[in-house]
Amino acid sequence: MLESPHIPVLPNEVISLLQLAQSPNPMWFLDGTAGEGGHSKLILKTFPEAKLILIDRDAVMLERAKKEIQKEIGSLDRVHAFQMNFSEVDSTLLEQVGCSGLDGALVDLGVSLFHFLHSGRGFTFKNEEPLDMRLEPQVGQKTAADVVNYSSVLHLKKVFWEYGEERWALKIANNIVQSRHKKKFETNTDLVKLVEASIPRKFWPKESHPATRIFQALRIEVNEELLHAEKGIRTLANCLQIGGVLTCISFHSLEDRIVKWTFRDLKTSDEFEILTKKPILPTDQEIKENRASRSAKLRGLRKIEPIKESRWEK
């Protein structure tokens, strides 16, 4: 079966923010979450002389992005690709490719549709898959099954409540601990069945699966997504040259809160200005054409000349 073409979220809005970079000839951009390469292709088309640093923590996604760019742009001559977490980008990496500072950077904090449909790592409810959820399976960190099978009730409740905002967090955590005494959780469907049985039918959400928040929470816990988000935003902001722009797309309230408050904290140094007083949201038309965009929020930040304090002569 043919895969439907990937559609990047908020494409025009992302490009409009990156075009606010105050360099007469922007030369260096970074896509910190390559995904399917949708935003990267737009950046390379919009800035035909610029070079792009392409980052993704998942080797499979990085290769997919490179293939998509090659197919549409014609070559990878302007692309420097690295498999790593965007929170690990630093001046040493920039120097390695001859970049003295970024004119623009983008991080898309959502998980690619590919992971849900084709990764086989238990992100989805549709097919029975190992309960893994690692974005970097080769690294060997704990899996979602490890979290479910060996965490205490209190830790599970904390994960489900803080990362999933799940009102049934304690009941689900208790039921998991009782159930795993008889049989350990191995697949996504094992967990789905338990969550469905833990939440009374009349309280199931109308527009999503009752296990959605639990799966979101586990994915965030396994991949330490919120920790990397804040660290990465600060790191990339400091990699901008004066006038450079950082754009961030988030897909749920926890991510957006981190972006908002990290931007505000950076602004207090007088070295940054916030370009978006409120998050930019997708239009009704975009949501109609690309349902994956419905919860997206875009924010932008620009690096500016630090304000110098005046000195009073004695």
Residues contributing to the annotated binding site for S-adenosyl-L-methionine: 37-39, 56, 86, 108, 115
Helix-helix angle 188-198:169-180, to 10 degrees = 130
Distance of CA 113 to the CA centre of its chain: 12
Tokens 């929170």 belong to residue:
87
State the helix-helix crossing angle for 38-46 and 11-18, rounded to 10 degrees: 40
d(CA 87, CA 230): 8
Q: CA dist 281 to 110, 252, 276, 297, 301, Å?
A: 15, 12, 11, 5, 16
Locus of tokens 């002569």: 313
Partnered with residue 28 across adjacent β-strands are 51
Q: Exposed (0-12), middle (13-18) or buried (19+): which is 300, by Cβ within 10 Å?
A: buried
Annotated binding site: 37-39, 56, 86, 108, 115
Between CA 104 and CA 239 the distance in angstroms is 10
Interatomic CA distance for residues 183 and 193, integer angstroms: 13
User: Measured between alpha carbons, how far is 134 from 62 in angstroms, rounded to an integer?
Assistant: 15
What does the angle CA 137 – CA 115 – CA 284 come to, to the nearest 5 degrees? 150
Strand order across the beta sheet in which 51-56 lies: 79-83, 51-56, 28-31, 102-108, 240-250, 297-303, 272-274
